[in-house]
Amino acid sequence: MTLSFLSRRFLPFAIPSLIFLLFFPHLLRSQESQGNSKPPSRPGTISQTAPAPSKEDGKDSERKNKDTAVLLREVATVRIERPMLVEKAEVPRASFLREYYRVQWRAKDPFDLYVIRPKGAAKTPVILFLPSYPDDTELFKNNKWCDLAVRGGYTVVGFVGAVTGHRTRYRLLKEWFVSEMPEALTSTTHDVQLILDYLATRGDLDMTRVGMYGTGSGGAIAVLASVVDSRIKVLDLLAPWGDWKDWLNESVIPAEERAKYTKPEFVASVSALDPVTWLPKIQAKSLRIEDIRGNKAMPDKAQEKLEAAAPEFALINQYGNGRAFLATQVPPSVLEWAKSQLAPDAKPQVVQEKPARFHFFPAVLQPVPAGIQNLANGVTPQVAKAPGSAKEKEREKENPR
C-alpha cells in the first residue's frame, strides 16, 4: 500500500478531525459560560430583576438580608409564569369589572386570583385582600361586596393562602394549613410579592399606593409580606394570628391532634415565622389591628403579645366580644379605613401616646338588633383596660357571643 494511496484515503478525514480537536476545549468553555449566565426572559413571564443597590452600608444590608432570608426560602422552586386570564366579567348595572385569573407558580399548587376594578377608572390604588384559613374565594364572587369594595375608585385583588380552600385540591387529606404551616406562611408571603410584580406590569394601577387587608392567617401573612416588600404602604389586620407557641396550645387545632403540633421540633419549625417577632420590622407606614377578645381562633394572651409588639404608630382596636365588633360596623362599607389611608391627601401615621392609639369597645352581652349596625357612632371606644372582674367574666359565660 503506497503512501500516496493512504494520503488520498485518509487525508480528507484527518484535517477536519484536527480542527475539531484544536477548537473543542474553547467550545466547552463557551458553553459553560452560557450555562452560568441568566437566561433571557421568555414572552409571557415576569422578569426577576436584582433589587436596586441599598443605601445602607454593607453590614446593615447583610444583616437585613440574613433576617429576611427565612421568609424567602422557597423562591428557587418557583416557575414565574404570567397569570392566565380565565374570565373577564362585566356585571350589568354594577360599578365594577371582575377579572378571574389562574396562577400556577409551583407544581400542584394552582390558585385563583381575582382583580376587581371600578369601571372607567384608571391608575387606581390597590388593596390586596387575603382571607383566613379555612375561607375560600366565595367573597370575591359576591357582586354586592365587589360593588362596595371598589367604591371610591379602588382596585381590590383577592386570593387565598397556600394549603387553604381550593389550594388543597392536590394535597393529601391529612395536610392542612397548620400541618404545613412553614410552607403555607413562606409560600404565600412570596405569592404576595409575585402578585405585586404582576400588577406592576399591567400599567393600569397606581402601584405607589398599595395596601393589604388580612384576616386571621391572612393577617399573619400580611405582616410577613410587609417586612420583605416596601410596596405595601398600609396594613389593615382583623384578628391576625401569631405567637405560635401559645397559639398552637389553645387555637383552632382539634384536641386529638394538638400533641403533634406542640412538640418542640414543630414549634421550632414555625418560631422563626412568628408575626410577633416580625411586626416591629414592617415597612408599612400605616397599621391598624382589630382584635376580638374571646376569639377561639386567636387566644387573648396571644392577642396581647401581638398588640405589644406593634410599632408605636399603630392604631389598635380591642373588642370585648364578637357582638361588640359587629355593633361598630357601618354598612354599606368595605375596606374604608384602608381606603382612607391610601387617599391622595392621606398622611402616614405618627407615633402617639398609648391612650390615643388603643381603643376598647366593651362587650355587648345581648344579641345585636338588626338595625344597630346603622348606629355605630353610638358605640364609643374607650381607652384599653385590663380584663373585667370575675363577676363580669361570669356574665360573659352565661351570655356567649
Handedness of CA 310, 312, 313, 316 (dihedral sign): positive
What average pLDDT does this structure show over 253-270?
94
What is Dmax (Cα atoms) for the chain? Answer: 119
Q: Are 388 and 365 in contact (CB under 8 A)?
A: no
More confident position, 4 or 110:
110
- The whole-number pLDDT of residue 46 equals 33
Confidence of residue 371 (pLDDT cuts 50, 70, 90): very low
Lowest mean per-residue pLDDT among 51-65, 169-183, 226-240, 254-268: 51-65
Q: Which three cell numbers stand for residue 388?
A: 373585667
- Percentage of the residues of the chain whose pLDDT score is greater than 70: 72
More confident position, 141 or 330:
141
- The whole-number pLDDT of residue 159 equals 98
SS3 percent helix, strand, coil of the chain, rounded to 5, is 45, 20, 40
Confidence of residue 18 (pLDDT cuts 50, 70, 90): very low
Q: Are 130 and 156 in contact (CB under 8 A)?
A: no
Q: Provide the CATH topology of domain 70-398.
A: Rossmann fold (3.40.50)
- Distance between CA atoms of residues 177 and 196, nearest Å: 23
SS3 148: helix
Q: Mind listing the pLDDT tens digit for each residue in 274-298?
A: 999 999 999 999 999 999 999 999 9
Q: What is the mean pLDDT of the chain?
A: 81
What average pLDDT does this structure show over 302-313?
96
Confidence of residue 65 (pLDDT cuts 50, 70, 90): low
- Distance between CA atoms of residues 250 and 149, nearest Å: 34
Beta-bridge partner residues of 290: 238, 317
- Distance between CA atoms of residues 183 and 74, nearest Å: 8
- The whole-number pLDDT of residue 363 equals 95
Confidence of residue 370 (pLDDT cuts 50, 70, 90): low
Q: Are 237 and 278 in contact (CB under 8 A)?
A: no
- The whole-number pLDDT of residue 37 equals 37
- Distance between CA atoms of residues 235 and 310, nearest Å: 12
Q: Which three cell numbers stand for residue 278?
A: 416580625
